Structure 1
Amino acid sequence: MKVSYHGHSVVQVVTESHTILIDPFISGNEACDLDANTVKADVILLTHGHNDHVGDTFEIAKRNDALVVAPNELAVYLGTKGLNTHPMHIGGAREFDFGKVKFTQAFHGSSYTEEDGTVIYGGMPAGILLTIEEKTIYHVGDTALFTDLKMYGEMNSIDVAFIPIGDNFTMGPEDALVAADWINAKVSVPVHYNTFPVIEQDAKGWAAQVKTGDGRALNIGDVIEL
């Protein structure tokens, strides 16, 4: 299984049978090396409804006939647009043919803004625990620091955690170091930084300070093999 980072909060997971995209914000994401017009996806997982996370979900899902797994209200909205969706909610888990998905808490917001300015409520924001072939990936989503992250670390053997460090909209570097310690992943990867001036951070400097497991700031397109 190959897990790769593609800027902002975009993560790609490639197994022998499936390609999974998490929060595919590609168009408008200058750091992203993927092409929304050609990228393959069998499954799209969404943490919440903000445009910089839903990203190119509409186009990618329709072109690939991909399954979109998202928090309930967001999944219902995407379903009205003709996408094949599966709704879930915080604390719920489900076994799919590609692996097990469990949605965790995240303290943030969730809404999708349409081109005409209409704001659509996206339900509760979430993190995602994705378990495939006995390996667990934790995409923490956009969130503040909260103590249940310690519980998630204790309840799960997490191989790779993607943790936001950008500050302003999510936890910043200092809080993210605490989160990395609590989550206790074998590898902690910083995300949600440098996309916009307001979230510029030193990712390598952050990774060097991670005390629990291996802190690793991935270059765009870098792959972790599990």
Structure 2
Amino acid sequence: MKLTYYGHSCFLLETGGSRLLFDPFIRPNPLAKDVDVDAIEADYILLSHGHADHVADAEEIGRRTGAGLIGMFEVLSWFEAKGLKAELKMNLGGKVKLPFGTVKMVPAAHSSSMPDGSYGGVAGGFVIESEGKTLYFAGDTALSYDMKLIGELHDVDVALLPVGDHFTMGVADALVAADWLNCFRIIGMHYDTFPAIDLDDAKAMDQAMHAGKELVLLKIGQTINL
């Protein structure tokens, strides 16, 4: 199981012979200017909600790769109308079985609308079970007691959590979330892209260390094994 970071909340997870791309927002992100979007391959594109900073490159990459979209019913319906492959429409609490494992859509405390302002349903996150491991991608969210339930229902090995504050939870709340998830390893996301979510990396790492957690802040383009 390998994870590559493309900035903001965009990751590529390679697992079980499949490539899962989360929340593609690359071309409009100046911090990701060195990422070759044309070289990114995906079998599935998972969309946590409809905001432009999570779906900006979904249409381009989806058309080029033929990837199947996974996400909230309203978000996928919007892309389906554009001709993309969007059969895997979901809603909160639903789970689908796919060749690499399972995807369950779980709640996120956040708003959702499409880039044109139309209704995007509600925001969500994903629990991925594959290769005997469990990954939780929280999407954009505030700290929510739903995370405690996720930790009770799943043995989460790694949690991808927003840490930038302002639009989502910050580091302090992410560390509480990790406790509720019973998860030691956090991979940060949704930080530094805009001035409002600039992160003091050293302070964040120190907070995590004192909370007994491992906080990983990947460099854009970096790949790690999970």
TM bin, normalised by shorter chain, reads: over 0.9
**Superposed displacement of residue 26, structure 1:** 0.7
Cα distance in 2 for partners of 1:25, 1:61 equals: 13
Letter in 2 for 1:25: F
In the other structure, the counterpart of 2:163 is 165
Q: Which amino acid is 1:50 matched to?
A: H
Q: State the Cα distance separating 1:96 from its structure 2 match.
A: 0.9
What is the rounded CA distance, in whole Å, between the counterparts of 2:22 and 2:50 in structure 1?
A: 12
State the superposition RMSD in angstroms: 1.5
What is residue 90 of structure 2 aligned with on the other side?
A: 88
Structure 2 gaps of 5+ residues are none
Offset of residue 28 of structure 1? 1.1
SS at match of 1:84: coil
1:202 pairs with 2:204: no
Partner amino acid for 1:214? E
Identify the match of residue 184 of structure 1 among 182, 185, 190: 182
Change in Cα spacing, 1:204 to 1:180, as seen in structure 2 (3 Å) is farther
1:221 aligns with 2:221: yes
Alignment match, 1:113: 115
One-letter amino acid matched to 2:41: K
What is the aligned partner in structure 1 of residue 58 from structure 2? 57
TM-score relative to the length of structure 1 = 0.92
2:70 is paired with a residue of what secondary structure? Answer: strand
Q: Please identify runs of 4+ aligned residues in structure 1 that moved more than 4 A.
A: none
Report SS of the residue matched to 2:105.
strand
What are the Cα deviations for residues 164-217 of structure 1, in whole angstroms up to 9, with x where unaligned? 111111112221221122222241011101000011112343233223542222
**Residue identity opposite 1:51 in structure 2:** A
Separation in 2, partners of 1:61, 1:204: 37
**Is 1:103 paired with 2:105?**
yes
**Contact 1:189–1:207 (CA under 8 A) maintained in structure 2:** no
* Contact 1:8–1:191, Cα closer than 8 Å, also in 2: yes
Q: What's 2:172 paired with?
A: 174
Conserved? CA contact 1:184–1:213, under 8 Å: no
Cα 1:99–1:207 change in 2 (3 A) is farther
State the Cα deviation string for residues 19-75 of structure 1 (Å, max 9, x = none): 110001111112224322231111100100000001200010000111000101111
Which residues of 2 match residues 23-172 of structure 1 at below 5 A?
A: 23-32=23-32, 33-85=34-86, 86-114=88-116, 119-172=117-170
Could you state the TM-score of these two structures normalised by the residue count of structure 2? Answer: 0.92
Q: Partners in 2 of 1:181 and 1:55 — Cα distance?
A: 32
Separation in 1 of the partners of 2:162 and 2:204? Answer: 11
Residue correspondences, number? 222
* One-letter amino acid of the counterpart of residue 180, structure 1: A
Cα distance in 2 between the residues matched to 1:138 and 1:169: 19
What SS class does the counterpart of residue 37 from structure 2 fall into? coil
- Indicate the SS of the match to 1:179: helix
Aligned AA (2:80): G
Deviation of 1:79 after TM superposition, in Å, equals 0.6
